[in-house]
Amino acid sequence: MFRTCLGWLLLGAGAFACADVPKMFVVQLVEDSEKFPDFQSLILDSYLAGALDEIGQVDSVVWSLGDARFREVAGRDSFPFEWNSPSERFIVPVAREVGAEYTLVIWCQKTDAVVRPVATLYRGRGFRKIWSYGDYDRRMAPFYTGELKPLNEDEFRKFKDLERNGRPEFAPIMVGREVDWDSTSRTIARTFAALIQQGPLKDLPAKPKQNLPDADPGDQVPLPVGVRMGDAGMGLEAIDALVEKGEVESAIVQLRDMIDREPFRDDFRLRLGELLESEGLYVEAAREAVRSALVVKKPAPFYRMAAKNWLRSGHLDQARDALNNLLARGGEDRESRGMMGELYLREGNAGEAIEWYSLAIRSGPTPDVVYGRAVAYALSGQIDLCRGDLASLVDLPSDRLTDSYVMAVTVCTDLLEGVGVRIRDRVALHKIHRTDPELVALTARDTQLAESITAFIELTPVPSQFAGSHVQRALAHKLMVQGVTEVFEYATTRKEDLASEGTLSLGEALRMLPALRSLFERERSKTALN
């Protein structure tokens, strides 16, 4: 009997201890990056939860799959919601489900010059507003007043008018000439936590979470003299030093060891991807980026890296998967739009490529994006528009476009080879079906494509390292166009000698392509070694 009573007393004491610290549900709203490309969201939720835990007035639960209590709710089949898109109709039931006494909704936009955070604290199941920071009411009205409305252009314009409206803001913390977003986020989080402690939670006692003491290391056995152990504390500075000495392979090995020790360090994983890229190991860089995206909290940068390297290596299906993951996580910007344009261009869909490249250019033109659209214009037969885009790059050193040139001529030569094979095989069909208008139309379309591709090859700026192969490329393309044109004229005039001449020209042009590709790859290899 005594043991039973004691058990109930201990259980009650434990329950009282848990109930003594109220739960606070921390949720961050993220703005649509496509709608407002000049501003990006600064993620604060985990930083803020950590700052609140340091004070200890509340027990923080974060809207994140990294939080076990939120993950338990998100995994229930009976409780469906879109976990990566917080909104009112999801926040309210989830807050109640996790048993939150308080709900803190935050929103923060950043540029390299200023950070503008907004926060609102609600209490109880009725979501009564008890505290707020920032006088910009971006979806921060009390939840029970009605449905949330997205930010419109006029509201956003008012929000950006700092001088006239005097919005509360933070200056980002700089390290040298670079913004330290980690330190900036911690500063804002600690500021919010202190304001909440001194304001709405001032009557709650502070009970900081206690970290476990370090384990007893035990007896230290001295190492034998002459044995050199690896530096377990090696950081990115040491990696950079290895790279400067030309020991890139050693740097990659060390980075892999560092990631094994600290698998959730985004900066280690990003640096590894960059080094693999620099060595031309595009497939391995893409695979490493995909692996990283599956374990880190913020996967968007890794899906971006994966998409870029899948495209470089010609793995279009994998590139599409990575881009879809990037866009689904709010990563649509000028660079991702440009990559979508390149994806469609490589797939031969010039119309979609033009659309995506044009979207990217509206966000601010870059040489690679403009060049990509010029290629798409050429493949769609719009040579004048192609010439116009290339003319805007006339003052740019041709070597600045090396990566874009490699992509463009690879796509063009592959497409032209396909045209040559189709036309050569179609000669026999034209002899059999002499009056088939659909067959003539197909040949006419391929003829136009061949002429457009060859016109682009004549117009494009050529990086100096590819001067030799480009001369051979231009010759092969002209010969291919000659053969295609002769076959098309045969299809429309029925002059037998044109069929023979066209077949010979196409055969000679197709035989030139393997040697051309070999020369081109040798030029690329020399560039990589240099």
pLDDT digits (tens, 9 = 90+) for 188-204: 888 888 888 888 998 88
Give the side-chain half-sphere CA count within 13 A for 262: 13
**For residue 394, what pLDDT band results from cuts at 50, 70 and 90?**
confident
**What is the average pLDDT across 3-18?**
42
Report the percent of the chain where pLDDT is more than 90.
22
Give the side-chain half-sphere CA count within 13 A for 210: 4
CATH class for domain 233-318? mainly alpha
The pTM for the full model equals 0.54
**What is the average pLDDT across 498-506?**
88
**pLDDT over threshold 50, residue 446:** yes
**For residue 96, what pLDDT band results from cuts at 50, 70 and 90?**
confident
**For residue 494, what pLDDT band results from cuts at 50, 70 and 90?**
confident
The pLDDT score that the predictor gives to residue 118 is: 86
The pLDDT score that the predictor gives to residue 336 is: 92
The pLDDT score that the predictor gives to residue 107 is: 85
**pLDDT over threshold 80, residue 113:** no
Tokens at residue 418, please? 């396909």
**What is the average pLDDT across 394-415?**
87
User: What is the chain's mean pLDDT, rounded?
Assistant: 80
The pLDDT score that the predictor gives to residue 80 is: 58
Give the side-chain half-sphere CA count within 13 A for 371: 25
Asked if 63 contacts 45 with a C-beta cutoff of 8 angstroms, the reply is yes
**For residue 85, what pLDDT band results from cuts at 50, 70 and 90?**
low
Distance of alpha carbon 316 from alpha carbon 314, whole angstroms: 6
The pLDDT score that the predictor gives to residue 375 is: 92
The pLDDT score that the predictor gives to residue 67 is: 82
Query: Which amino acid type is present at position 8?
Result: W
The pLDDT score that the predictor gives to residue 77 is: 66
**Which of 129-143, 262-276, 363-377 is least confident?**
129-143
**Greatest mean pLDDT among 130-139, 200-209, 301-310:** 301-310
The pLDDT score that the predictor gives to residue 178 is: 73
Report CA Rg, the chain: 31
Q: Does residue 7 or residue 492 have the better pLDDT?
A: 492
Report the percent of the chain where pLDDT is more than 70.
80
Q: Does residue 11 or residue 262 have the better pLDDT?
A: 262
User: What confidence tens digit (pLDDT) does each residue in 219-277 have?
Assistant: 554 544 443 334 444 688 888 888 888 888 888 888 888 888 888 888 999 999 999 98
Residue 218: φ, ψ to 5°: 80, -165
How many CB atoms sit inside 10 A of residue 297's CB? 12
Per domain, the residue ranges of the chain are 21-198, 233-318, 404-529
**Exposure of 81 by Cβ count < 10 A (0-12 exposed, 13-18 middle, 19+ buried)?**
middle
User: What confidence tens digit (pLDDT) does each residue in 271-310 have?
Assistant: 999 999 888 888 889 989 998 888 888 899 999 999 999 9
Distance of alpha carbon 379 from alpha carbon 412, whole angstroms: 8
Question: Would you give the distance in Å from CA 409 to the centre of its chain?
Answer: 25
The pLDDT score that the predictor gives to residue 13 is: 40
| 447 contact partners, CB below 8 Å, separation of at least 6 | 423, 484, 485, 488
**pLDDT over threshold 80, residue 42:** yes
| 467 contact partners, CB below 8 Å, separation of at least 6 | none
User: What confidence tens digit (pLDDT) does each residue in 344-366 have?
Assistant: 998 889 999 999 999 999 988 88
Asked if 456 contacts 374 with a C-beta cutoff of 8 angstroms, the reply is yes
**Taking the domain 21-198, which CATH number applies?**
3.40.50
Q: Does residue 90 or residue 118 have the better pLDDT?
A: 118
The pLDDT score that the predictor gives to residue 382 is: 92
The pLDDT score that the predictor gives to residue 528 is: 53
